[in-house]
Every structure is written in C-alpha cells, then in structure tokens.
C-alpha cells in the first residue's frame, strides 16, 4: 500500500527564515500531490496541488512545492516565513485508487 | 471550491451510545469522504460516501460500526455506533469533484467518549 512520509514532526523558525518541509511517498504510478494547511482553530485548506506539467507549483501565500519524480518527493518551500504561517501542514498523495495523508508537520514561527 | 459545514462541532458521549454527524456542502459534488483524525496523528480515510449506494469502506472500518448515508449530492451523515473511548477523535467530512481528488474539508466534529 502506498504511504506518505513527512520527515519533520515539529519545525520552529524565526520570522523571515526560509522554510522547507519534506514529503516523500511510496507509490510508483501516476500521482496527484497536495499540500494542505490547518491554521490554529481552523479547518484544513488546500495550499497547493500538482497534477501534471511544470513540477514547480505555486500556491497561496507565497508557498511553492517541487515534484521530483525520481525522488518520490514533493517538498514544500517558502523563502521567508511569517508569524501567520504558524500552522500544521499535511502532504497528501492520490495514487490509483485512494488518497493518503502524511502525519503532518507542525510549524511554529516565532515573531 | 466548496464550503462544507458539519454538525455538531463537538460532543461528549457515553460509552455504548451512538452519534450521527451531518455534513452539508453548498454545491453539488461528485465525491464525499469521511476521515478520522486522532490527536497528534494524520487523517485516516474511513470511507467514501457514494450517492445512492452503499459507502466504500477502507480497511479496518466496517458499516456496522460506521454507517454512512448520502441521500443526495450535497449531504451525508456518518454514525459512530456503540461508541467506546477509542472512538474519541475528530471526524472530518470532505468533498471533491473529478478524478483529481482535490478535496475541501469541513471544520470537523470533535468527539469525546467517556
């Protein structure tokens, strides 16, 4: 069965620092890839998605992610984080028949 | 996009009872899903709610424990039956269209079983 791994459980950064959250998956076929974000007290929201085409995708709030097929990775990046980026981030992968979520990475940005 | 609401937002229930969670979408959607998110853990798909037919359950989840209804394209219910403390969790409804599985999530129902 496919699986999704997020390497970091909790990341703590200062404002203006750069961010990269890792996501790897195990499914070898065609995939759709997603990053979701859950701000404190709010529901899950779609941050960005990759279906096909340019492997570098841009999402809301300055986030981007790069799909590297050879590495089965879809890492999330942001050049300069803000305090308002404090949230839980989930990577999700849709394989042939189902959708799997990673365990999530909690990001804390210190002002 | 779709806006999803869930009721109740939270509940505290006694062991052995059942709770039905409602999920309403503001537009017609192809797919509706039910997830469980236990504290500190990721989302686990319980089932896909199929309109007009029986839900499709993931491994480890059965209809007797988690009966699901989907009478139309905008509404679904999940019942957590014969609850035990292990069922304490956040239950999330999501909706999506097309084969891409791009999903929109509801606010969740926080269930505590005592």
Residue A69: predicted pLDDT: 92
Q: Which residues of A touch B101 (CB under 8 A)?
A: 32, 94, 99
Angle at B69 between CA B37 and CA B44, to 5 degrees: 20
The token pair at B108 is: 């969740």
Contacts of B107 (CB under 8 A, 6+ apart): A42, A43, B4, B5, B6, B9
Confidence (pLDDT) at B100 = 62
Pairing of strands B31-37, B89-96: antiparallel
pLDDT digits (tens, 9 = 90+) for B45-101: 999 998 888 899 998 999 999 999 999 999 999 999 999 999 999 999 999 876 667
Q: What is the mean pLDDT of residues A2-31?
A: 92
Among A28-32, A91-95, B44-48, B78-82, the range scoring the smallest mean pLDDT is: A28-32
pLDDT of residue B98: 67
At residue A98, the pLDDT reads 76
Does A60 touch chain B if contact means CB atoms closer than 8 Å? no
Q: Does the CB of B58 have a partner CB in chain A at under 8 Å?
A: yes
Number of residues that this document lists for chain A: 111
- Who wins on pLDDT, A104 or B2? A104
As a three-state string, the secondary structure of chain A is CCCEECCCCEEEEECCCCEEECCEECCCCCCEEEEEEECCCCCCEEEEEECCCCCEEECHHHCEEEEEHHHCEEEEEECCCCHHHCEEEEEEEECCCCEEECCCEEEEEEC
**Average pLDDT score over residue span A14-26:** 96
- Amino acid A14: pLDDT: 97
Residue-wise pLDDT for A46-90, tens only, equals: 999 999 899 999 999 999 999 999 999 999 999 999 999 999 999
Average pLDDT, whole number, for chain A? 92
Do B114 and B12 touch, CB atoms closer than 8 A?
yes
Q: How many CB pairs under 8 A join A and B?
A: 41
For residue range B20-52, list pLDDT tens digits in order.
Answer: 999 999 988 888 999 999 877 789 999 999 888
> Is B102 within 8 Å of A102 when comparing Cβ atoms?
no
Half-sphere exposure of A75 (CA within 13 A, CB side): 11
pLDDT at A3: 87
Distance of alpha carbon A57 from the chain centroid: 11
Query: With an 8 Å Cβ cutoff, are B107 and A43 in contact?
Result: yes
């Amino acid at each position: 069965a496919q699986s999704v791994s997020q390497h970091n459980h909790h990341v703590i950064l200062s404002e203006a620092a750069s961010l990269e959250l890792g996501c790897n998956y195990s499914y070898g076929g065609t995939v759709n890839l997603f990053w979701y974000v859950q701000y404190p007290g709010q529901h899950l929201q779609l941050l960005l998605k990759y279906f096909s085409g340019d492997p570098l995708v841009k999402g809301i709030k300055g986030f981007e992610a790069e799909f590297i097929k050879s590495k089965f990775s879809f890492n999330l990046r942001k050049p300069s984080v803000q305090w308002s980026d404090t949230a839980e981030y989930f990577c999700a992968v849709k394989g042939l028949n189902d959708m799997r979520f990673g365990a999530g990475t909690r990001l804390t940005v210190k002002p | 996009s779709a806006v999803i609401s869930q009721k109740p937002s939270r509940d505290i229930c006694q062991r052995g009872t059942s709770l039905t969670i409602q999920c309403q979408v503001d537009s017609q959607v192809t797919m509706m899903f039910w997830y469980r998110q236990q504290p500190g853990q990721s989302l686990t798909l319980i089932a896909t709610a199929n309109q007009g037919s029986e839900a499709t359950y993931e491994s480890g989840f059965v209809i007797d424990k988690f009966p699901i209804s989907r009478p139309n394209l905008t509404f679904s219910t999940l019942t957590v039956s014969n609850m035990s403390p292990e069922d304490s969790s956040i239950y999330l409804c999501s909706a999506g269209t097309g084969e891409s599985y791009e999903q929109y999530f509801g606010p969740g129902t926080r269930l505590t079983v005592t």
